[in-house]
Every structure is written in structure tokens, then in C-alpha cells.
Amino acid sequence: MNKTFLLLICTLFTFNVYSQKSDSTITKKKYFTKPLSGSINFDGIPQEEAWNAVEWGGDFTQWQPNEGKSPSQKTNFKILYDNQYLYIAYRCHDMAPDSIIKRMGRRDEFPGDWVEINIDSYHDLRTAFSFTLSVSGVRNDEFVSENGNNWDANWNPIWFAKTHVDEQGWTAEVKIPLSQLRYGNETEKVWGIQVMRRIFRKEERSTWQFIPQNSGVWVSSFGELYGLKNIPTHRQIEIAPYLVAQADKYQATPGNPFATGSDKKLTMGVDGKFAVTNDLILDFTVNPDFGQVEADPSQVRIDGFQNYFEERRPFFIESRNIFSYQLTGSEAGGDYDSDLLFYSRRIGSSPHSYPTTGAGEFADVPLNTSILGAAKFSGKTQKGWSIGVLESVTQREMATIDNLGVRRDELVEPLTNYFVGRLQKDINSGNTVLGGIFTAVNRGEGLNNMLTKNAFSGGLDFLHYWKKRTWYIRGNMVFSHLEGSKESILGVQTAFEHLFQRDGAPEVSVDPNRTSLTGTGGTFRLGKIGGKSGNMGQVFKFETGVTFRSPELELNDIGFMLTSNEINHFTWAGLQFQKPFSIFRSARINYNHWSRWDFGGQFLYQAFNTNSHATFKNNWQTGVGLTWNPYDVSNNTLQGTSSLRKPAGIAQNWYVNSDYRKKIYTNFYYNNFWGFENTVKGNDLGIAFTFQPLNALQLSLGVDYSYYWRRQDQFVANAKVDDQAMIRSIVSSVDQNTLRFTGRMNFNITPDLTLQYYAQPYITRPLYSNFAYVSDPLAKHYNDRFTPYTSSQISESDGRYYIDEKGDGTVKYDFAKPDFNFVQFRSNLIARWEYRPGSELYLVWSQGSTSSSNYELDTPIMGSLFDNAFTDQGRNTFLIKWTYRFIR
């Protein structure tokens, strides 16, 4: 099998080398602007005399699907400026104006036909501001970083646009406040610009400055804008107060004074921006509203690892590209790619502690820690320095316990300060980037036996490109340092991510007297992201590297880390066909392999994968993949007793997406995996339908179902044997069924007035059987690793299992019955009106319920879902949020 994969890679590489041809040198285009003289009637029709001061830019080149050819329709643009705004006019010719697609959507959904301009006002050849306007008037904006490898749609500047459709196609006028851009103070400026147009019905994209797809770059190859003279420096000042009125209705709990059936609250606060310089912005917030428009998707894991959720809060989303510090970020992908030095969801998360209550007592516990205030200083200077500083303070949180009217308070979260500092420097026009990061979490008094007092982390990173930025080498080194009580540091040592107590691990040992812990990690990557293309537009790309986390590395106070004590090697190689051929619009084939060791030298994991993907000329898409996992040992599965060898196996996946340009389209996927020796089976499939009956209305419904079965090696519990100094790791077979429905409705009355509905019922039910204990965890043969309990050794009573190993009538240990039925329903109905640029009014109805129990385990899963998801025990939340954005 190894030889087969090696032969495949050698064949791909040889084919690429012998079929390559030289790309001719592409000259950067230039556009010359002039100051605005006269007035513009901002109606989307650029017919005023003022526009005649400059020439139309044009001569676009097709970028997709037929790269390098002339586009099917012509596009032209003009640019003017004054002391306040940059003005852009578009003329998008179309010989069939009745065929222009005018779909609407929420901001940043990029519906239908559109045209956009990317502006590298820093002229650093790495970052740009992107403004996209659909023919329906929907505004879309993104901050582009890493030379086009990162597009952040959560950046929402204030700008203005109008469109108009006529017999020649469509036109638009755009007005961008200069305060929303960042630039230096030189008298005459040169900015990088790129203009792109999309024709939806053909899924054709053309660009003003041709940039070959095989180049692997974007911003660094933009054309250039000349003629900007004496533009004043704009110190952006924005103040945005908000007011939220909220009412909750739910089923009252008899006797519970904290659950009377209804709650009301009124909240107010303010967000603001102040430009310290034209490059650097200070964002601040006082008593911020960090509510989320859409709920997190339901997730339940039974393997012990924590869930990762995307950040949705505006304050943390803006400028996050500057604060981002991913430990790995490999092209091959892997669990380690989720590890971050800064994971903003830690700020304002649920309290770490829960109060102790007695019989007849009720507790009122905050769902999230309150953020008293936060400030963020970020930006990029003309000299290539990217700077980010974030400071946030969360409140000391108390839970209130009621005992027949007598109340007491108990600490559930201490006062906590969070700090993040990030610095990067572009060298040689961004061909080399050096950077560093430092984070700190400092907690006040309280919960010292469970939480560390101080947690620090930091790192240094580098990136270097060569050969026209098609080759790169990048890496980082990181560290963490914790300080706290003996109890808190012991808790870290024995936590799921570390497990220093694990048998057979010479690299770690538990020290109950430690009051500090220091760890390291790092990544090294070498890759090729572009290059010369062959006759069929094919280009060979690859990346290889290694990433490691020492056993002592701990990032979860302010970062995100799944596990430590790993050294991972990864390699990815791909051959991408970027021009149409035969029945394909584009295609690619990839190869990946992964290997893993721990710091004790134990070999843990190996896997090989190949996958291919294609887009057909009718715009359908499909892909298939196959993974072979010949060896797998987990240090985490048994949660501290020993390593466990997992079964080898094979996984395959397949998906197909129909043409999303149609009024009705569908997406389907299927994943299947099985372990050798009849040890693991799994099926995961999903299908979603999207219906676009009107340009302003989109409906979608998706269903996902998965079945997961393991024979004997699903971890259940670690139980201490009464009369022996030993711990039994108990495992079992498991059957887990998971079902999820997701429905959405988007109705766009105007680009600034939208109605959205989201609903997701979810159920997962793992059932455990055939219990055993681990007797030889690393045995080669699967059945030799476990000793099953006989019917005379195990008995069940009142939700617990009792074990009599010797059969002498004496129970040596017991454990809870692990089966459960988890049902959750989440929905949001949101009316959003942007009544003036940057100022919004929200009307929200949120409905949800959660049920977790060990009953109804033998009912049909579909019936259990709908019997429990839509009960009267759910919570209804009604919310009105008003914001007003003052701008200078």
C-alpha cells in the first residue's frame, strides 16, 4: 500500500514537470484617478458630467472558467475622489439584460450578479479591503489578509451604493468613506486595486488585473491606482450606544423562586472606535451586548474531547486576523489544526464552578460570566507593522442558593483579566513576515483549589516566500506557563488533555507539590502553493511539516487545545486542473498521510488518504475520498489509566452538489467507515434542499443522520477496586444514533430590511452493552485487550451496575449506567432593519429546549425527538435591540 501511494505521487510529479510551460510575465495595470469636480446625483446611474473627468477602465480578462480568455460580457469602471470619499462607477454590459440574476440576501451572502473592488490602501501587497455590490443592491464587504488566503466577511464598514438595470446591462455607483480605509500620510499615494465581476448564470468571473490561478497569490499582483494627491488623514470616531429589552417565558418549577415562569431585563451599553492614527484603531466597549443572532449548533461528544464553537460576537470578530495565532494550520488537516493560542470564546464563557446544593435547595447560576469592559487596539502601519492589543475584564460571579427563603451566595467565577498582544512585521514587501504573541489570564481571589492563578502563553512565528511567492517556509514556537495552588496545578496534570498519571508513560509523572507548569510547542511547514501550469492548466502543489505539543503545554485558559504530548508529521500533495477539459470545469486530486508519536517515543498513529474533487461544466460538483488507518493508539481514551490500541480500519466519503444557480438545488454527502476484525462500523449521511421561489425568498431544509457502533472498546468509567490498589478501566460496546434537522428561511424585503428564521431539532442516543474491563490495552489482537464480564459478575439496580469479579457475592466496584437520550431544539426568528448606515433595529423571538435523560431509550429515535423537542417546557425569549451609530 505504501508503494502504491509513492508511485501515485511520483506519477503526478513527473506528469506535472513534463507538461509545464512557461507563463509569460504579466505587467501590472495602472488606473489614473482625479479629484471630483462637480456633483454626483447618487442614483446608481453614472451619467453626471463629473464622471467625464476620468476614462473608463476596462479590458477585463476571464478568470473562471476559461482563464485568460475574453469575458462573455464587457465591464468598465471609473474612480474619483474628494477629501471625504472614494467614488466608483461601474458599467456592467450585458447583451441579455433580462437574464441578469437579481437574487437578494443578507449582507455578506454575495447573491446573484455582482461586481467588487479590492483596495490595498496600505500598499503592503498582503492586505486589502473588499467592497462587493450585487445588482440587487446587497452590500458585501471583507477584509483580505495573508495575500488573499484569508477573507474575513465579519468586517462591516459603512459605505453607500446604488444600482440600476437598463437595456445595456446594469450600472452602479459606490461611495466609500476614506475613514473606512487605512493609508499613510504621503502626499501622492499609490494603492493596489483589483476589480472583479461575476455573471451568475454562467458562473463566470473576470478581473481587470489578470492574476493566473496557478500563481498562488492575490493582493501582491493587484493593478495600481495613481493620482491620489493630498488626501487628508481621517481620524475615525464612532460611538454606538445600544439598548436591549428582553422577556423570557418558560415553564415554572414548583417551589423554585428562581424559576417563576418569566424573567425580564433591560440592558444598555456602548461600543466605540477611535482612530489613534489613521492606521491604528482603538475599539472599546462598556457593558457590551454579546448576544448571538444565531445559536451554536448542537454537539455532543462521548470521546472526552471538548467542542469547538465559532466566534459570533462582533467585538471579537473585527480585526481577528491580526490576533489569530493557529498552532498548525496544515493543508493536510487534522485535529491539531483547531489548536489556538487565542480562543475568544473563553472570554465571557460559562462559570467554571457550580454551587453545592442540599435537599430542597435551589440555585440561581449565571449562564455566562459578565464582561465588565473590553478594549482593543489594532491596525497596521505604513511601515508594515501589524499591532494588536486586547484587554478584557470579566466580573466576579456569584450563585445565589435559596433554602426556604434563606439565601446565601457562593462564588462560581473569580474576577478575571484577559490580555492578548500580537505583533507582526512585513519585510521585503511581505515576502518575509516575522511575528510574536503574548497572552495572559490573571484571576482574583477565589476557587484557588480549582483554577490557576495566572496563565501565560506566547510564541514567535515566521513566514518566508520565494520564487514569486509560490514556495514558502513557515513555522512557530510557543510556550505556556501556569502558576497556582498545588491543587489547581495537580488538576492540570491529571486533566484529560495531559493525563500525567497514565501508566507506561516514562515522559510524565504526577507531582502533587508543583505550583507551576511550563510547556512548549511548535510547527514547521514547507510548501508550494503555485507555479508554472501545464497544457491543461494543471499545477502541482504540496506541503509537508511537523507539529508538536509537549506534555506540559496548556492553552485552555485563553486558547484552545485538544490534547498535549504529541508529535505529528503530515504531508499533502495535490494536482489541480484549473482550466476546463473534457466534461470538467475544474478538478483536483490529492494525497495525504499522517504519523504521530508521543514524547515517550511511543508510535501512536498512521493514516493514508487520497481524495479527488471535480466541478462539471453543468456546475454540478462531486468528490470522493478513501482513508486507510493501519495503526492507532490513543493516550486519552481511557482517561488516565493507560494507552489503548484502537482498531485499524478504512473510511470512505462521497458527496454531490447540484447546480446552485437553479431555483431548486440539493447537497448530499455520505461517509462510511469500518474497523478490521468487525470492531467498528459507522455511517453518516446528510441531504439538504434549497428552494429559491423568489429573488427575495430562500428556503432550505437539511437532515443529517449518523449511526456509530464500536465493539467493546468504548470507554465507560474508571473504577477503583475496593480491596486492591488498582483501577479498572471499564469499556463496552456502544450503539449511537444521531439525528439533526436544520431549517432556514431568508426573506429580504429590501437589502436593509430582512426577515430570517433558523430552527434545529437534534437528538443523539448512545446505548452501551457488553461491558468488559481492559486487561491488555496494547495487545495486537483486538479480543486480547479486554476481559468481558459474565452475567454472574455484573448486575444492574437503580441506574448503576455492580461488579462482583470473583463471583463470591461481594461487590468490588460499581459505575453509573451510561446510556442517555439527549434532545435539543433551538430556533430564532429575527427581523433586522438597518434604518441608517451602521444603525440597526432587531426584533427577535428565540425558542429552545434541552432534555437529557436516561429514559425513552427504547423508543424510535424520530418519535423521541419530536416528542421532546417541541414541548411546553421550552424557553421563549422575546428581544428588542436598538443601536445607533454616531460617525465623524
DSSP for 189-214, written as a single string? EEEEEEEEEEETTTTEEEESS---GG
Measured on CA atoms in the order 42, 47, 49, 51, is the torsion positive or negative?
positive
**Dihedral sign (CA 17, 19, 24, 30):** negative
The average pLDDT across 507-536 equals 92
Check whether residue 62 and residue 172 sit in a common domain: yes
- The per-residue pLDDT for 757 is 95
Task: Write down which residue in 768, 803, 819 finishes a domain.
Answer: 819
The three grid cell numbers given for residue 655, joined into one nine-digit string: 458527496
Same domain? For 525 and 631 the reply is: no
Which amino acid, 111? P
Instruction: For residues 120 and 209, state if they share a domain.
Output: yes
- Nearest partner of 706 among 687, 731, 733, 678, judged by Cα: 687
| Domain assignment of residue 781, yes or no | yes
- Contact criterion met (CB below 8 Å) for 801 and 771: yes
Q: Is residue 870 part of a domain?
A: no
CB 772 within 8 Å of CB 786: yes
Question: With 70 as the cut, is the pLDDT of residue 24 above it?
Answer: no
Once rounded to an integer, what is the mean pLDDT over residues 828-839? 91
Residue 862, domain member (yes or no)? no
Q: How confident is the model at residue 165 (pLDDT cuts 50, 70, 90)?
A: very high
- CB neighbours of residue 394 within 10 Å: 24
Neighbours of 326 (CB within 10 A): 17
User: Do 422 and 490 share a domain, yes or no?
Assistant: yes
In the predicted structure, residue 109 carries a pLDDT above the cut 90: no
| CB distance 241 to 883 below 8 Å | yes
Confidence of residue 9 (pLDDT cuts 50, 70, 90): very low
- The answer as to whether 500 is a domain residue is yes
Q: Residue 406: pLDDT band by 50, 70, 90 thresholds?
A: very high
Considering the domain architecture, whether residues 340 and 468 belong to the same structural domain is answered as: yes
In a domain, 250, yes or no: no
Mean pLDDT on 613-627: 97
Distance separating alpha carbons of residues 239 and 888, to the nearest angstrom: 9
Which three three-digit cell numbers place residue 639? 482517561
Considering the domain architecture, whether residues 543 and 601 belong to the same structural domain is answered as no
Nearest-CA neighbor of 720 among 710, 711, 730?
730
pLDDT reading at 18 higher than 70: no
How far is Cα of residue 238 from the mean position of the Cα atoms in its chain? 28
27 Cβ partners below 8 Å, 6+ apart?
A: none
If DSSP codes are grouped into helix, strand and coil, which group holds residue 325? Answer: coil
User: Quick one: 815 and 779 in the same domain?
Assistant: yes
Predicted confidence at residue 20, as pLDDT, reads 40
121 in the same domain as 206 = yes
- Residue ending a domain, among 781, 804, 819, is 819
Q: Are residues 396 and 465 in the same domain?
A: yes
Q: Considering its fold, how many domains does the chain have in total?
A: 3
Give the residue from 819, 842, 867 where a domain finishes.
819
> 153: pLDDT confidence band, cut at 50, 70 and 90?
confident
Considering the domain architecture, whether residues 31 and 164 belong to the same structural domain is answered as yes
Average pLDDT over residues 704-720: 93
Within a domain: residue 253? no
* Per-residue pLDDT at 596: 98
What is the amino acid identity at position 488? S
Q: How confident is the model at residue 294 (pLDDT cuts 50, 70, 90)?
A: low
Residues in the chain: 888
Q: What pLDDT is recorded for position 290?
A: 54
Provide the pLDDT for residue 712.
87
**Which pLDDT does position 4 carry in this prediction?**
39
Q: Is 776 a domain residue? A: yes
pTM above 0.85, yes or no: yes
**Strand (E) or helix (H) holding 534:** none
| Nearest residue to 739 via CA among 693, 690, 685, 699 | 685
pLDDT(1) > 70: no
Could you read off the pLDDT of 771-816 as tens digits, one per residue? 999 999 999 999 999 999 999 999 999 999 999 988 888 899 999 9
Quick one: CA torsion of 175, 177, 180, 184, rounded to 10 degrees? 110
Establish if 874 belongs to a structural domain: no
How far is residue 672's CA from residue 652's CA, in Å, rounded to a whole number? 5
Q: What is the domain range of residue 63?
A: 2-229
Q: Are residue 451 and residue 493 in the same domain, yes or no?
A: yes
Q: Which letter does DSSP use for residue 220 in this model?
A: G
- State the pLDDT at residue 325: 94
Would you say residue 19 has pLDDT above 50?
no
CATH number of the domain residue 222 falls in:
2.60.40.1190
Same domain flag for 602 and 553: no
- What single letter denotes the amino acid at residue 701? L
For residue 704, with 0-12 CB atoms within 10 Å meaning exposed, 13-18 middle and 19 or more buried, which class applies? Answer: middle
Compute the CA torsion angle 712, 714, 717, 720 (nearest 10 deg).
40
